[in-house]
Amino acid sequence: MWKIKPEISKKKLSWNFDLFFHAADKFDGTFLFTNDTENNSGKNILGVNPVVVINENNVQYGNRSKKISAPHLIDEILSTNNTDLNYPIFLGYLGYDFKDKLEEKGLYAGLEHGNLPQIYFVIYEYYIITENFKKDDFNIVKLNFEFEHTRFDIEKVFNLKINEDTGGSSKYIGSSLTRNEFRAGVEKIKKYVEQGDIYQANLTREITGTTDIKPVGLAQRLSQSNPIEFGVFSKVNDHYIISTTPERFFRVKDNVITASPVKGTIERSIDTVIDEQNLQILLNSDKDKAELAMIVDLLRNDMHKICSVNSVFVKDFPMVKKLNNVYHLYSEIEGVLSEISYNKIFRALFPCGSISGCPKVRSCQIIEELEGIGRGAYTGSFGYINFNTNSDFNILIRTLFYRNGYISFNVGGGITLLSDPEMEYRETIHKANNIYNAINMEEIWEERYCLTGK
């Protein structure tokens, strides 16, 4: 396996978010960002100039390629290059549809979606890392490879001139499930719950459209719309992934793995009395606590597969996450890994229970039946892995996909026995509205009539 030599330097820069979006766009990069000051995950990472690109069955390195198995290759590269350096070697993701490859053959239907890779991990030539965009807080990591590849002049990034967002608007094409289909899906899930198949499943629908806003413009608009702890702007071939997710899936630090499932949300208020009342309503909601307990038990289960006996603990239950606009209930589960293998971690944990359902396998089968199409990268997981094997992975919700003027995103929710089909459908419109507004989507009769009452 190749030896990769990192060189680290510091640089003073007067940079902001926008420059990182532009640099990722222009130099085939990925930008992982956080703009949530209250729950800061602590890192903004830009990778530019992909040198090693790992897909499911092959790896491209420099001008060459060979057949491999992606999760195994990640472990091989990590073990060859394991140092105590706490800077990234890989940025990348697993798409939801990759679940089929991680499970027993024949369990899932093999649904696919578009041509975004199902798994994609990249080693970039350069990483620029900053915690807070202060002038003297930019670390530059240059990776040196032992094989030939296209070299990149990092000065191009430092001298980048950016064009202002020139505006534009977006048009609606349609939804993968109509209102009636979505409501029927909710009813069907409730039937499955009643007859003992599952306790809960997440049902989503995909909304497609066109836009004349450029990808960077979309990222800028979406990143202003919400507090984002685990944001992504990534150029993958001619696709763009733009995620504004507030949710972590798991992180690995030394040999400890931590998962942080989120369930239950309530609006905040500028009136401090109402704000406190809302918080108490959330803390006393038996429904939200039960749903969170279910996901905590599911994640404990998945972590037990790869952790030492008697090492998995729930840190606190439930905890409150305070964002600018909402409160969430969440919990943290910690375990000691018996070995650090990303192949094993992915197989044990993926896909996350909070976006599939419980029990997971049966829920994923029901989701296939009711959604009818693959989810692509949506509800997959994007993150980084460092040289010292530490990592942090999000859950790809609130995520927009862009390619050549076409856009798509999914909206959905967790369905339980208590769900009302019409309310669940409206909730998806409510969630979609945040995105419509951000990307200047025209009025859509199908999506808005029940909010305006027309």
Q: Which of 133, 170, 136, 99 is nearest to 10 (CA)?
A: 136
Distance CA(179)–CA(187), nearest Å, equals: 12
Distance CA(56)–CA(170), nearest Å, equals: 33
25 in Cβ contact with 238 (< 8 Å): no
Among the listed residues 360, 382, 436, 438, the single contact to other proteins using CB under 8 A: 360
353 binds other proteins (CB under 8 A): yes
Q: How far is the CB of 110 from other proteins (least distance, A)?
A: 18
Q: Which of 139, 131, 145, 122 is nearest to 48 (CA)?
A: 122
Q: How far is the CB of 304 from other proteins (least distance, A)?
A: 4
Q: How far is the CB of 201 from other proteins (least distance, A)?
A: 11
Closer to other proteins at the Cβ: 34 or 379? 379
Q: How far is the CB of 318 from other proteins (least distance, A)?
A: 11
Q: Cα separations (Å) of 160 from 46, 208, 266, 285, 380?
A: 14, 32, 42, 50, 32
Among the listed residues 164, 309, 316, 454, the single contact to other proteins using CB under 8 A: 309
168 binds other proteins (CB under 8 A): no
- Binding part of the chain for other proteins, among 29-37, 128-136, 288-296, 368-376 by CB under 8 A, reads 288-296
Task: Show the binding pattern over residues 124-163: x = contacts other proteins (CB under 8 A), - = does not.
Answer: ----------------------------------------
What tokens does 411 get? 């909206």
Among the listed residues 14, 84, 136, 196, the single contact to other proteins using CB under 8 A: 196
Q: Cα separations (Å) of 7 from 78, 141, 145?
A: 17, 6, 11
Among the listed residues 291, 368, 371, 424, the single contact to other proteins using CB under 8 A: 291
194 binds other proteins (CB under 8 A): yes
Reported as type and span, the H/E element at residue 369 is helix 360-371
Q: How far is the CB of 358 from other proteins (least distance, A)?
A: 5
* Subset of 200-229 contacting other proteins (CB under 8 A): 200
Q: What residues pair up with 5 in beta bridges, in sequence order? A: 144
The conformational region for residue 421 under phi > 0 = left, psi -120 to 50 = alpha, else beta, is alpha
Task: Show the binding pattern over residues 81-110: x = contacts other proteins (CB under 8 A), - = does not.
Answer: -----------------------x------
Among the listed residues 84, 146, 164, 286, the single contact to other proteins using CB under 8 A: 286
316 binds other proteins (CB under 8 A): no
Residue 426, judged by CB atoms within 10 A of its CB (0-12, 13-18, 19+), counts as: middle
* Subset of 395-434 contacting other proteins (CB under 8 A): 416-417
Which residue intervals of 169-260 are DSSP H helices?
A: 179-194, 215-225
Distance CA(87)–CA(80), nearest Å, equals: 16
Please calculate the CA angle 59-52-146 and round it to the nearest 5 degrees: 110
Which residues participate in catalysis according to the annotation?
Answer: 247, 263
Interface contacts to other proteins, rule CB under 8 A = 104, 193-200, 286, 289-294, 296-298, 300-302, 304-305, 309-310, 312, 314, 317, 353, 358-362, 416-417
